């Protein structure tokens, strides 16, 4: 995204000096989203600049010894966007394309999301610019431990609590928890969420984001009169979020007709066998080559005849080049930031309902909150209890933003930003500025 895509009044004061104005990246998308909500903030708009710059950014060098004896250096980040409502909370991403702009945007979307579902957290995010598939397990462990140690200045059970994101998982969290615990001389289970269940993790956390996507999708489908039974689904990204959401929709009678991931795009108009596809992804590393479907060109994925489209991979996937080709009646954002503001407008004009990331994928952080609460009290809940509480929070939060969207005649994204920004800025106003 270039600087020219931004309304003039956003620039240059809103753009921090450490970002390249010619390539603002996902942070530019976030700034435009805040800009759209500002007219609805009333007297709280006085504080809106707080949302347009992260509170704190840490960039760390992560050197590790590789298996062949050489030394490799990786760049790592931890960004705390806003801590007005509580400690920072947000995942850690390992990906070769991670940038500061991306981590900034992801941290900001965490602030919005946490406020939207009213969990007592601010927003944070971390990442390392690395292709983890090129590292051995030992190298990955050393990378994770050194990164955790480097960001140890910022994280802690009452300060900032990381969790899994793209290419990180329960094992990554176990290493992070152990490293932090070694450095502090304690067993600090509450420093990360998404841990293995035997190490203070929560039942239901692995599926929580996908379950939240499904829950919000079902609620919205009722409102627009779209039956889930027989609905055709296209899913981009078949990892933790996309795979779980695809499975839950298929269990409810929907047909997963197209799936795309980093290994290929597949299509089956009768619906793929989802458990078989999940097993293929587990054993082969991706959907490419799945025998129960035909392969299709990557670009054609966006034009597939479907009712529901779930982007569950990376940012900026639905953009001005492909948005007009989308056939779906409803887009449920499993991924963070998958739709650019231009694409949002195109989809709106086509009458496509977009359920934004900041509400649709909030199920993960909601169960992370449950995990953190369970760790503090050392008292663990049953899976049924967790899923029931998750569904209730997601349904109530979605109903609240839907009502705001109807009242103000705005998109669900803007409505979610209205609810969330009001909560964050109200907290900011009550706390006041120090000194
Ligand atoms: P994951 O690593 O389990 O899966 C990522 C998926 O994206 C994989 O299927 C991968 O093949 C696919 N992918 C990667 N690059 C791609 C490309 N260029 N084109 C098509 N597909 C590509 O990660 P995840 O945890 O499922 O996260 C997916 C998205 O959901 C991310 O945007 C993440 O920030 C968001 N999210 C995750 C959680 C969570 O709890 N894991 C919570 C909220 C939001």
Place domain 206-360 in its CATH homologous superfamily: NAD(P)-binding Rossmann-like Domain (3.40.50.720)
pLDDT of residue 3: 39
CA of 100 to the centre of ligand 1 (A): 18
Whether residue 204 has its Cβ less than 6 Å from ligand 1: no
Q: Which of 52, 89, 125, 195 is catalytic?
A: 125
| Candidates 1.10.760.10, 3.40.50.10860, 3.40.50.300, 3.40.50.880; CATH matching 55-188 | 3.40.50.10860
Q: Give yes or no on whether 55-188 and 206-360 have one common fold.
A: yes
- pLDDT tens for the chain, residues 1 to 435: 443 344 444 444 467 888 888 888 899 999 999 999 999 999 999 999 999 999 999 999 999 999 999 999 999 999 999 999 999 999 999 999 999 999 999 999 999 999 999 999 999 999 999 999 999 999 999 999 999 999 999 999 999 999 999 999 999 999 999 999 999 999 999 999 999 999 999 999 999 999 999 999 999 999 999 999 999 999 999 999 999 999 999 999 999 999 999 999 999 999 999 999 999 999 999 999 999 999 999 999 999 999 999 999 999 999 999 999 999 999 999 999 999 999 999 999 999 999 999 999 999 999 999 999 999 999 999 999 999 999 999 999 999 999 999 999 999 999 999 999 999 999 999 999 999
pLDDT of residue 107: 98
Whether residue 364 has its Cβ less than 6 Å from ligand 1: yes
Whether residue 313 has its Cβ less than 6 Å from ligand 1: yes
CA gap 143, 128 in Å, rounded: 9
Ligand 1 atom closest to the Cα of residue 334 is: 30
CA of 167 to the centre of ligand 1 (A): 8
Whether residue 165 has its Cβ less than 6 Å from ligand 1: yes
Against a cut of 0.75, is the pTM above it? yes
Q: What are the boundaries of each domain within the chain? A: 1-53, 55-188, 206-360
Dihedral pair phi/psi, residue 73, rounded to 5°: -115, 135
pLDDT of residue 262: 96
CA of 183 to the centre of ligand 1 (A): 30
pLDDT of residue 15: 79
pLDDT of residue 8: 41
């Amino acid at each position: 995204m270039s600087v020219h895509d931004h309304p003039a009044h956003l620039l240059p004061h809103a753009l921090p000096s450490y970002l390249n104005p010619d390539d603002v990246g996902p942070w530019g998308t976030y700034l435009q989203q805040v800009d759209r909500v500002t007219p609805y903030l009333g007297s709280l708009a006085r504080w809106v600049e707080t949302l347009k710059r992260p509170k704190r950014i840490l960039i760390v060098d992560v050197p590790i010894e590789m298996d062949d004896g050489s030394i490799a250096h990786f760049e790592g980040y931890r960004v705390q966007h806003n801590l007005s409502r509580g400690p920072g909370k947000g995942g850690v991403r390992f990906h070769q394309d991670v940038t500061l702009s991306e981590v900034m945007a992801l941290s900001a979307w965490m602030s919005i999301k946490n406020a939207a579902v009213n969990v007592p957290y601010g927003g944070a995010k971390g990442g390392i610019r690395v292709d983890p598939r090129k590292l051995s397990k030992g190298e990955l462990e050393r990378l994770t431990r050194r990164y955790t140690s480097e960001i140890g200045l910022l994280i802690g059970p009452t300060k900032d609590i990381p969790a899994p994101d793209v290419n990180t998982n329960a094992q990554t969290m176990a290493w992070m928890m152990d490293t932090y615990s070694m450095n502090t001389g304690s067993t600090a289970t509450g420093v990360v969420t998404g841990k293995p269940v035997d190490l203070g993790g929560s039942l239901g956390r692995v599926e929580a984001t996908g379950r939240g996507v499904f829950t919000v999708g079902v609620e919205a489908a009722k409102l627009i009169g779209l039956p889930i039974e027989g609905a055709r689904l296209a899913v981009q990204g078949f990892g933790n979020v996309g795979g779980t959401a695809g499975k839950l929709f298929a269990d409810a009678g929907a047909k997963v007709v197209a799936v795309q991931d980093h290994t290929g795009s597949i299509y089956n108009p009768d619906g793929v066998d989802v458990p078989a596809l999940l097993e293929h992804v587990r054993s082969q590393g991706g959907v490419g080559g799945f025998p129960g479907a035909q392969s299709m060109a990557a670009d054609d994925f966006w034009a597939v005849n479907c009712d529901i489209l779930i982007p569950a991979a990376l940012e900026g996937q639905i953009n001005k080049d492909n948005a007009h080709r989308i056939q779906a009646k409803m887009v449920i954002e499993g991924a963070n930031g998958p739709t650019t503001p231009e694409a949002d407008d195109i989809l709106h004009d086509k009458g496509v309902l977009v359920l934004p990331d900041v509400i649709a994928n909030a199920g993960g952080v909601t169960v992370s909150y449950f995990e953190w609460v369970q760790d503090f009290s050392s008292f663990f809940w049953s899976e049924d209890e967790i899923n029931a509480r998750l569904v209730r929070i997601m349904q109530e939060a979605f109903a609240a933003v839907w009502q705001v969207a109807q009242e103000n005649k705005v998109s669900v994204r803007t409505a979610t930003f209205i609810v969330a920004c009001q909560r964050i800025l109200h907290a900011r106003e009550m706390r006041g500025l120090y000194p």
